[in-house]
Structure 1
């Protein structure tokens, strides 16, 4: 139950920082500030924890690169589509992909009831996307969100293996330091240093979002050392339910009975995983 509580707490934090990123006046600069804050915290972790085992560098570099690809996809998704639509598709794609990889490639055992829970969560989350009957004009946003979901699944699998080979704090420190400094530098190269000429409130919000993001990520990494990869990945993506509520409350995006039904399917999946 502790692992479930931790992952659900991480889901709340994850939805919060994604909503902060979507609501930033300049989403590119906001996301860069998120990463900069995480990079600084990661640097502190690196100085305290030291080098990872030599055999694990591949995991660190792969995760950092996949996270950068994920951030690029996330940014494209938020630029092209509505938060309550692209966020569920990006996050809903990940659990079933992770489940397939963890069973087929990593040979992790997943109880039938847990597998049903994963599938229910994925179905409910993806259902949130299509409630609004997206048209052809939304295809670029949906493709960007789907690609983002594949990147989430990829770094989830890499992270899930890596945390069993080195201390979580060491892994977090190096991954966040690498991606946290690389992303702002890429933004400066793209948009110039004036991209950060923002109001003080926007800067503080961006830096705070980075702290929230890192906290959510750290909780999930810890949970991956205690539970099956597919179950943890599915539970983490319940952040979409919190994201849908945030979209309704703060962005004026309608929730409605159909979204409530999709959310109920997700809750049913959570119950199955909890009892599995």
Structure 2
């Protein structure tokens, strides 16, 4: 992977951990997720306006990824309702690269070298350490289960988008339609908030727009990186954000025990980086 591609993906990792922290800290997480989806949709309109349409072949990945993203938003809301940032984030994001690597092997025959499999073992070990440490043992076990499902959805849309953007013949056009099709998430949540509460806290929504800016920049950057670097390597390096998320959880949210969570995050990060450089 070139230094340029590496810098893009690492920047995306920082942005991604940051917007997840905003979701965790929000008084109304669903409304923040609505703001994130609306920011995606607005960015999508701009990208569609300035881009060539994606190829016909890429519409299957676009629609598949869109449906998976709907499930992702629902699981993300539940994960941060039930668990800590420094627990949920490393499990979900740490699991994804292993599944992406297996998906790439099954779908496009991308075989990992021995060092790549060593990275996958480190990822699994870090996840086990996080799940079995004392703090996690006393946490709601549903949080771990939802985080595992979240990792599966992340891997699924990562593989779909990695393949789709390559065959799109218009990466920015692909991104535009992918982002725009998230608009129903915004309308559903805002409608539901009005139905249940009679109003929408637009101040919380404005904060969520900042998270949406971080999110759309991060994912757009990752999608572009997948056009100039291997899919598995990009997905793996992106998940170095687990270290950032663990630090945010410990330092800003006071999540404990801090030692085991940071150790697990570092092991997961070492695994994803080993997986990345092995290719």
Alignment of 1:146-157 (within 5 A): 146-157=148-159
- Residue of structure 2 in register with 1:61 after alignment: 63
- Residue of structure 1 in register with 2:178 after alignment: 175
- Residue of structure 1 in register with 2:33 after alignment: 31
- Could you tell me how far 1:62 is from its partner in structure 2? 0.9
Change (3 A) 1:23 1:153: same
Pick aligned residue for 2:20 from 13, 18, 21 = 18
Alignment of 1:80-95 (within 5 A): 80-95=82-97
In structure 2, C-alpha distance between the alignment counterparts of 1:50 and 1:92, rounded to whole Å: 35
The answer to whether the 8 Å contact 1:122/1:234 transfers is no
- Gaps of at least 5 residues in structure 2 are none
Change (3 A) 1:186 1:50: farther
The answer to whether the 8 Å contact 1:59/1:158 transfers is yes
The answer to whether the 8 Å contact 1:36/1:184 transfers is yes
- Residue of structure 1 in register with 2:208 after alignment: 206
In structure 1, C-alpha distance between the alignment counterparts of 2:64 and 2:215, rounded to whole Å: 19
Structure 2 length normalisation: TM-score?
0.89
The answer to whether the 8 Å contact 1:50/1:170 transfers is yes
The answer to whether the 8 Å contact 1:118/1:234 transfers is no
Pick aligned residue for 1:220 from 219, 222, 225 = 222
- Could you tell me how far 1:226 is from its partner in structure 2? 2.3
The answer to whether the 8 Å contact 2:31/2:190 transfers is no
The answer to whether the 8 Å contact 1:84/1:247 transfers is yes
Change (3 A) 1:137 1:8: closer
Deviations 1:155-182 (Å, cap 9, x if unpaired)?
0010010111122211111011111x11
The answer to whether the 8 Å contact 1:35/1:183 transfers is yes
Alignment of 1:62-211 (within 5 A): 62-125=64-127, 127-135=129-137, 138-166=140-168, 167-179=170-182, 181-192=183-194, 197-198=200-201, 200=203, 202-211=204-213
Structure 1 length normalisation: TM-score?
0.90
